[in-house]
A and B are shown apart, each in its own frame.
Chain A
Amino acid sequence: MHTLDKDDFAPDFVLQTIEGQSVSLQQSLQGKNSILLVFLRHLG
């Protein structure tokens, strides 16, 4: 399986906020110069 790396295009996703609102990556890109995705560890 190919591991995403620099210059690849990021796969789209749809996730929910804690309020239950659906947010997609593509939607988030609109009108923005860049996206910073921060993947957390556990919240403990």
Chain B
Amino acid sequence: VSAAPATIHAVGRLSRIPLSALAAASLVLVTTALIFVFYVAPNDDPVHGLGFGQRIFYFHVSIALTAYACFGCGAWQALRHLWKRDPRADLQSYVCVHQGTIFGAMVLLTGSIWAKYSWGHWWVWSEDELVLFLILYLFYCAYFMLRFSVDPGPQRANLSAVYALFGVVLIPVSFAAIRLAKEFLHPRVFTLSGPRFGGWILVTYCVAQVAMLVLAYTLYRIEIAGKRLDLRLRDLKEVLA
């Protein structure tokens, strides 16, 4: 009980950061991450012999974690809508899920590039994260179809919130399912044990992760500002009409 107000307070403090500062921060961070990934991180891992292409992992993994964070945040806002009846939570939940879907598409893209580089195919069913994101992508695309085939109002907010909550239940269940499915679909398992963490690899990964999170938050703020402006304009039009 005591944790909830603290989190809301923290979110409130975050939302006071001006948008321009956020945009500048994400520009600087993403540039730094690019520099670190291309010039600082060691190229060849002597144990696994992964070449230059393994650098995409710094982005692939950090984008995937950012997408999970977006979906998790969307579900948290959905819970706040259902539980606390916070009037802003519905829109916030929608924007979080939207950002998550965009980052999810980027996970599929970067994962596909990695699969092509590593195994010579654009799609590999034995890569857990790719398959999981395919399922999540299908699931969250249906979220938008659901949301846009109901008229705006409390019912739409409720349905979206319940569906967003289903999403966070589906993530671990699907992950377990994919692990199980591997045993009868692919007896041969590619074990991609990534480069050992530590030193510059860890630093580069952390920079990339922070850059992606800040970028996602900036995009979230831009989108939500646009959506709120849109709603206010609509209200004004109704008053004038």
Do the two chains belong together in a single complex?
no
